[in-house]
Amino acid sequence: GQQVMQIPQYQHVQEGEDFTTYCNSSTTLSNIQWYKQRPGGHPVFLIQLVKSGEVKKQKRLTFQFGEAKKNSSLHITATQTTDVGTYFCAPADRGSTLGRLYFGRGTQLTVWP
Amino acid sequence: GAVVSQHPSWVICKSGTSVKIECRSLDFQATTMFWYRQFPKQSLMLMATSNEGSKATYEQGVEKDKFLINHASLTLSTLTVTSAHPEDSSFYICSAPEGNHNQPQHFGDGTRLSIL
């Protein structure tokens, strides 16, 4: 399956600070999805990026897909305590019609009030 | 919205026991479901793809005789951990895409399995 490197593994910020997590692949991705998992919970879908250079926003969250479709990022502006959780990128298996996802190792975000 | 129900939430049992975990899509049909395993503070590792009406597709390194998958209907997939041992203790979670395969996945709440 698709192998991606996600950094950083941990990020601790004070409420109001910004946060960014990066997902990098050595190969071109067909598409990439982002999920959030709260402590003790299950992953929840955030966004899917498909097009080269695509940028999507959801309130304080901005998602980008690189021009070469080899990297992606999630940026949160002015973090809140509700943003706490682990953020995973998950590229779809290239060429597969089965929708298999191979999750990055995730970035665990801690927000201090 | 689409909901995936997973049962049970917790299982604690003795070594050697076989444990069955159910994953149901409640308001949509899923010809394909996925099973993941997650260790504490680690990522989700895809174990297998459950295919309705046919054999599951296992990821490399996953023992198919150890982790039996059955997808008997369009709304139900089961994972049976056979002769479980302490090293099988983990968080098992299923997912299903709503619609075609490249749609977002809806996840169950997961099953925390502890083998004594």
pLDDT, greater one: A4 or B102: A4
Q: What is the pLDDT of residues B31-40, one digit of tens each?
A: 899 999 999 8
Say how far residue A79 (Cα) sits from the centre of its chain: 15
Distance CA A42, CA A39 (A): 8
Q: A-B interface: how many C-beta pairs under 8 angstroms? A: 58
> Residues for chain A: how many in total?
113
Q: Are A103 and A20 in contact (CB under 8 A)?
A: no
State yes or no: pLDDT of B53 exceeds 90: no
Angstrom CA distances, A48 to A54, A55, A81, B49, stand at 10, 10, 24, 20
Of the candidates A25, A5, A13, the one whose C-alpha atom is nearest the C-alpha of residue A85 is A13
Q: Select from A1, A48, A97 the Cβ nearest to the Cβ of B101.
A: A97
Q: What is the pLDDT of residues B64-114, one digit of tens each?
A: 999 999 998 999 999 999 999 999 999 999 999 877 656 788 999 999 999
State yes or no: pLDDT of A93 exceeds 80: no
pLDDT more than 70, % of chain B: 96
Residue with tokens 């997902």: A23
Q: Select from B44, B101, B104 the Cβ nearest to the Cβ of A48.
A: B104
Distance CA A60, CA A41 (A): 22
Distance CA A112, CA A45 (A): 24
Given an 8 Å threshold on Cβ–Cβ distance, is A31 in contact with B43? no
Interface of B with A in 35-64 (CB under 8 A): 36, 41-46, 49, 57, 59
Given an 8 Å threshold on Cβ–Cβ distance, is A42 in contact with B41? no
DSSP line for B27-85: SS--SEEEEEEE-TTS-EEEEEEEETTS--EEPTT--TTTEEEEEEETTEEEEEETT--
Q: What is the pLDDT of residues B3-49, one digit of tens each?
A: 999 999 999 999 999 999 999 999 888 889 999 999 988 999 999 99
Question: Residue B7: left (phi > 0), alpha (psi -120 to 50), or beta?
Answer: beta
State yes or no: pLDDT of A100 exceeds 70: yes
Residue with tokens 């049909």: B29
Q: What is the pLDDT of residue A1?
A: 58
Q: Select from B45, B97, B107 the Cβ nearest to the Cβ of A43.
A: B107
Q: What is the pLDDT of residues A34-86, one digit of tens each?
A: 999 999 899 999 999 999 999 999 999 999 999 999 999 999 999 999 999 99
Rounded to the nearest integer, the mean pLDDT of chain B is: 92
**Nearest chain A CA: its distance from B101 CA (Å):** 5
Q: Which residues of A touch B41 (CB under 8 A)?
A: 108
Q: Touching check for B14 and chain A: CB below 8 Å?
A: no
